Structure 1
Amino acid sequence: MISGDTSQREMILRVATKLFAGLGYDGTSTRQIAEAVGLNVATISYHVGSKRELYLAVMARANNAHRAMLETAVEDLVAAPQEDKLPTAHRLIDLYIDFCVEHPEFPALWTHRWLADASDVTGLEPEYVQPLAQLVIDTIKATLDVDPDADVDYTVNTLIWCSHSFVLSGVFDKAGERHGADDPRALRRFRAHMHHLLHRALGLPGDPP
């Protein structure tokens, strides 16, 4: 059974995640969070501490889910028989895109940071972003027949940037209308493009699966 304190803290984290993802850390106040949750500021502080501590808890929570997904995908790639390495690597792309689509707050939180939000809260990138990106980079180098001239580091980072951007803002069509992850056709087209990008940028053999 979940205690009242635990359930209130979880509710605060969920609401704070949405506000930090939508408005950024700098654009969100503890009072806004308290009003959205329906509690007073003192109760928010009791459960999560300061705004900075709440932000750190939100980022840790978001990245725990991200790490669990990515580590499982990497384990699958490492364990796959040689003839299945390539399609398993491509499935990793789909899993990452799916995660961003299902949890748009994740790319939103990081995009705010990369636009200089919460600049006084340091150390999150080397704690959360770099180790997982490096895990994927190292695994691709070790398991796939990559062109020796390919830049795996920049390819993986390009896939990350593109996935975040597509989920958050979509792409424009010829009429100037924006189509994003909620448009099934646009999502299929984006997936196909990411698969081709990985395949061609790394000089992988054959055609993308």
Structure 2
Amino acid sequence: MSASQPPGESRDRIVGAATVLFAEHGYDGTTTRQIAAEAGLNMATVNYHVGGKADLYREVMRRAHEAERAVVEEALAAFARDAAADPVGAVAAFADRYLDFCLEQPHIPALWMRRWLADAAEFADLEDLYARPLIEAVRDALVAALPGGSAARPAALSADEAELAVYTVLWTTHGFCRSAIRAQVPRFRTHLRRLVLSQLGLSATADIS
């Protein structure tokens, strides 16, 4: 490591390179040597800063989770504020924000999609550690905001219905962003809004395109 490369910068550079490769090729399809080459560093420097490939993968997923958690928590706060007055608009806005996040940071949905294809199977705890708490937070917010008795949704939303809607947004959005055609984003955004509103049994009271 050169004097002009502070330890924190080297670590961030390595994690950034690993993120790109894990998203593109998966954990199982990436070697530490490839990560070192992508980062422009030697193997000894990589091992010194991040340890082995398993340690590096956990750090990549931790950072991906922190970025996603920040966006979801911000979007949930806006949803909780607006849902009582306009549940349809609040749901559409939440879906929009999550789609924007995935488009801005496409490596994050790519990392999770790799896991869904049985990549990095030895890290079985990551779903419970990272994905599950966010899914449950969104599910619970939806149930609390949609108790029924409104024109938009006469019946109360069950936890099962809400959770399935969350998974629908995840799978659909991640799949689109993995192979996104930018010209199709407006069309997909409208589709996503309509899809999640339909799953939640919400009747759109205005044009949500």
1:11-70 CA distance string (max 9 Å, x none)? 111111000000100000000011111111111011111100000000001110000000
1:92: which partner in 2?
Answer: 94
Indicate if the aligned counterparts of 1:21 and 1:106 stay in contact, CA closer than 8 A: yes
Offset at residue 3 of structure 1 (A) = 7.2
Please say which of residues 92-101 and 3-12 is displaced more in the overlay: 3-12
Cα distance in 1 for partners of 2:18, 2:83 equals: 43
1:25: which partner in 2?
Answer: 27
TM-score by length of 1: 0.88
Indicate if the aligned counterparts of 2:36 and 2:42 stay in contact, CA closer than 8 A: yes
* Residue identity (%): 40
1:142: which partner in 2?
Answer: 144
Runs of 4+ in 1 over 6 A off after TM superposition: none
Cα distance in 2 for partners of 1:207, 1:199 equals: 11
1:14 aligns with 2:19: no
> Which amino acid letter does the alignment assign opposite residue 13 of structure 2?
M
Cα distance in 2 for partners of 1:94, 1:136 equals: 14
SS at match of 2:141: helix
1:197: which partner in 2?
Answer: 195
Cα distance in 1 for partners of 2:97, 2:109 equals: 14
Of the three residues 66, 69, 87, the one matched with 2:68 is 66
Cα distance in 2 for partners of 1:71, 1:3 equals: 34
Cα distance in 2 for partners of 1:22, 1:206 equals: 38
1:5 aligns with 2:7: yes
Please say which of residues 83-92 and 125-134 is displaced more in the overlay: 83-92
Root mean square deviation, CA, Å? 1.8
Indicate if the aligned counterparts of 1:199 and 1:207 stay in contact, CA closer than 8 A: no
1:98-121 CA distance string (max 9 Å, x none)? 011111100110011110000112
Indicate if the aligned counterparts of 2:83 and 2:90 stay in contact, CA closer than 8 A: no
Cα distance in 2 for partners of 1:34, 1:113 equals: 23
> Which amino acid letter does the alignment assign opposite residue 57 of structure 2?
Y
Indicate if the aligned counterparts of 2:168 and 2:196 stay in contact, CA closer than 8 A: no
Cα distance in 1 for partners of 2:117, 2:80 equals: 34
Cα distance in 2 for partners of 1:11, 1:81 equals: 41
Structure 1 residues 43 and 82: CA distance shift in structure 2, 3 A: same
Please say which of residues 108-117 and 147-156 is displaced more in the overlay: 147-156
Offset at residue 85 of structure 1 (A) = 3.7
